[in-house]
Structure 1
């Protein structure tokens, strides 16, 4: 049975000065005690807390403000400083113990690893063994796992840890890239917070939310400024045809660019098109996997022109409905030559958007498009084209597998232009017409 605690006078320097050498204790709670070790010169603050089975754990907090030392609240502590430090220390240690009950305490790194494994498992189940590992692994590895944040324990994570990491991101990163990195990290941390909620503080979801929030209100990106006029789109398609023929793509590159331009769909959607999705005058574009818990149709019907159907005819004729519509050649190195020679191996669907990067750079250069134009500009162009042709915002959103709110936020100027043209048709003369008598000007006499 534990002995009754003998309370010592520790509150002031004078009280501690009258104590004999040795360790003296004062209770802060039934299970936590603040201690003072009296030495020949000065003393040190201690804390101990009950572990169960008549056992305590004890650690040193810092130096007491005895003698000439002035308290700084960090290394040299007053009695009040020591009380607060003891409470924080015990709270942190108990959180450590709770987090480690069922194995290693979860860290940011472990949360990210688990998130990526789960994400890639879903992709393989959905797209088969040839599924890409996605860009999330690359982003999180480069910008999070390589930072000190990765080693932080989730149970001791602070908002300042997350905001400091966010502020440390390179200023050269595009706003959209930063947003994707943060969304990936937030998803990983929230998944871990849900899985390990019994071992983590109740406020961890709020810490994640506030710590990764923008430091100031962000101005929505005006994506309609990235849209290209139809003449530029046509030049890009002509350039794609030239690059396709010059580099031996057998029409694969041209067809990809044509479909991206005609549908305004994301690459991740277009690559999943099947032969059976080509119908008379329209493509049944698979909807994206974006939107957790959102129920939506599996495909969106997008009307296309006869020229697009003609371009797709070579890869539709004689093929089964379930086969991938857009494919490309895969190459392998021919080891029978002294120098590295790459030869065609087999055909397969496009996998990642990065496969388009090199030929797209040639297309931009050949078509004399603005430097820095990305393939996503084809999507912006499709949305802006439909808005300026007077299609309702909700219809444009549905055709591009997004929300009306997103369209209104990022393509506002195109909407204003379209509405201005519509409203111009409603303008009618309101003043009464002038009569012929009003137009007679009397002549000056004499």
Structure 2
């Protein structure tokens, strides 16, 4: 329960009696941002008010109830100072949630409440993947288990929910009706769920959703909205859900692909191969973010909201010097042929066309350039921790999962090539005599 904040001008009946009738409204701090409790004295007594800041130096004021100036507080129509503070906070919270499109907080605190609070928190932090997480939550979490009270959630609830994801076909993207009435219709892909690869992908989807659910519930637990994290802590992701090892290009294949690209897209691909950066990061690079002295390019905000400095090779530095030459510090380093910025999805068609001209199949996407940088770096002996930092991962787990086998291959090749040899010829008689002992 929030503590009572004293205000000696209005927190007792005797103090309020000293206020002249018709005097200006007196406001008291509620201990929350953007809201105050107000008191206005009239001929027949006083009233409690809620004042909320609505932006542009404007406030909205509404009456809450009568003050207990003439009658004793009944907790409904007549309120004491303490009761008025509690109602004002509750009303402010409800209005704030409504304005943000969040569910009503009255009643039990449900899984839907937990997800809404978590996503709102991440949005305030400036997280880059909030929109995607919100879409996934609204599609697969809230409709299925959103109504369950978070404190009563069990491991069985979660396991059953994950199993349902696995046995349900993937959803198709659909649009809401043009008249704006009602949600978008739900339709599913026509897939063979008995296919091992389709089943693996559904397990991978369930595992990703479990991660989003756990993030929301952990936030609720840290905020004190649920008493324990035991229910979801016990639930483990499905095994054998990871994709097959990622395809990457050899140096010769990468050169062939760049030569098949045209204009500004060729430069975009070359920058991707030199940095391992994501498409969205490349599209946002500005001239001021390339540090020629340090030989780095600064990613201000990556997928996880973290900034980092990508270290460039001599070849990469030369590329970025050439791309930045003659441009203003605020200009984008990489641009389309017409000078416009690379927007979401603009790379798909030129990538497909370049891959076809270079003789590659549909498995060569733009993201493969990031995998190529990482794979070749690991095989050339760059430590996984360094590769992880350049890619922008919080730790090495993702890199170890996708590229760890390449590091092992590099170690094996290095040992076979450089480990000492002693010039001892294989002699079967020596081995047999040792065995006889």
User: Same fold by TM (over 0.5)?
Assistant: yes
User: Any unmatched runs of 5+ in structure 2?
Assistant: 1-103, 170-192, 427-437
CA pair 106-357 structure 1, distance change in 2 beyond 3 A: farther
CA pair 309-132 structure 1, distance change in 2 beyond 3 A: farther
Match of 2:334 among 326, 335, 338: 326
Q: What is the CA-CA distance between 1:319 and the residue it aligns to?
A: 0.9
User: How many aligned positions are there?
Assistant: 290
> Are the aligned partners of 2:311 and 2:390 in contact in 1 as well (CA < 8 Å)?
yes
Whole-angstrom distance in 1 between the partners of 2:162 and 2:125: 28
Alignment of 1:333-352 (within 5 A): 347-348=340-341, 350=343, 352=344
2:38 corresponding residue in structure 1: none
In the alignment, does 2:279 pair up with 1:267?
A: yes
Whole-angstrom distance in 1 between the partners of 2:307 and 2:208: 25
Q: What is the CA-CA distance between 1:133 and the residue it aligns to?
A: 6.0
CA pair 165-397 structure 1, distance change in 2 beyond 3 A: same
Whole-angstrom distance in 1 between the partners of 2:233 and 2:206: 16
Match of 1:408 among 388, 400, 404: 400
Give the TM-score taking structure 2 as reference length: 0.56
Q: Secondary structure at the match of 2:310?
A: strand
Deviations 1:161-217 (CA, angstroms, capped at 9, x unpaired): 2111111224644665544333222212222233342xx3x23x1212224x224x4
In the alignment, does 2:435 pair up with 1:426?
A: no
1:104 corresponding residue in structure 2: 107
Alignment of 1:26-425 (within 5 A): 103-123=106-126, 134-145=131-142, 147-169=143-165, 170=169, 172=198, 173=201, 177-197=205-225, 200=226, 202-203=227-228, 205-211=229-235, 213-215=236-238, 217-218=239-240, 223=245, 225-241=246-262, 251=264, 253-280=265-292, 282-286=295-299, 289=302, 298-303=308-313, 305=315, 309-310=318-319, 313-314=322-323, 316-320=325-329, 322-327=330-335, 347-348=340-341, 350=343, 352=344, 354-402=345-393, 403-423=395-415, 424-425=417-418
Q: Secondary structure at the match of 2:372?
A: helix
Between Structure 1 and Structure 2, the one with more strand by share is 1
CA pair 365-182 structure 1, distance change in 2 beyond 3 A: farther
Q: What is the CA-CA distance between 1:290 and the residue it aligns to?
A: 6.4
> Are the aligned partners of 1:222 and 1:412 in contact in 2 as well (CA < 8 Å)?
no
Q: Secondary structure at the match of 2:108?
A: coil
Deviations 1:71-126 (CA, angstroms, capped at 9, x unpaired): xxxxxxxxxxxxxxxxxxxxxxxxxxxxxx97332222232233333333333xx8
Whole-angstrom distance in 2 between the partners of 1:237 and 1:175: 36
Q: Secondary structure at the match of 1:141?
A: helix
Q: Secondary structure at the match of 1:377?
A: helix
> Are the aligned partners of 2:118 and 2:216 in contact in 1 as well (CA < 8 Å)?
yes
Q: Secondary structure at the match of 1:135?
A: helix
Whole-angstrom distance in 2 between the partners of 1:361 and 1:311: 25
Give the TM-score taking structure 1 as reference length: 0.55
CA pair 144-285 structure 1, distance change in 2 beyond 3 A: same
User: Any unmatched runs of 5+ in structure 1?
Assistant: 1-100, 246-250, 330-343, 434-446
Whole-angstrom distance in 2 between the partners of 1:319 and 1:378: 28
Structure (1 or 2) with the larger CA radius of gyration: 1
CA pair 283-414 structure 1, distance change in 2 beyond 3 A: same
Whole-angstrom distance in 2 between the partners of 1:259 and 1:179: 33
> Are the aligned partners of 2:276 and 2:391 in contact in 1 as well (CA < 8 Å)?
yes
Q: Secondary structure at the match of 1:300?
A: strand
> Are the aligned partners of 1:284 and 1:302 in contact in 2 as well (CA < 8 Å)?
yes
Q: What is the CA-CA distance between 1:426 and the residue it aligns to?
A: 1.9
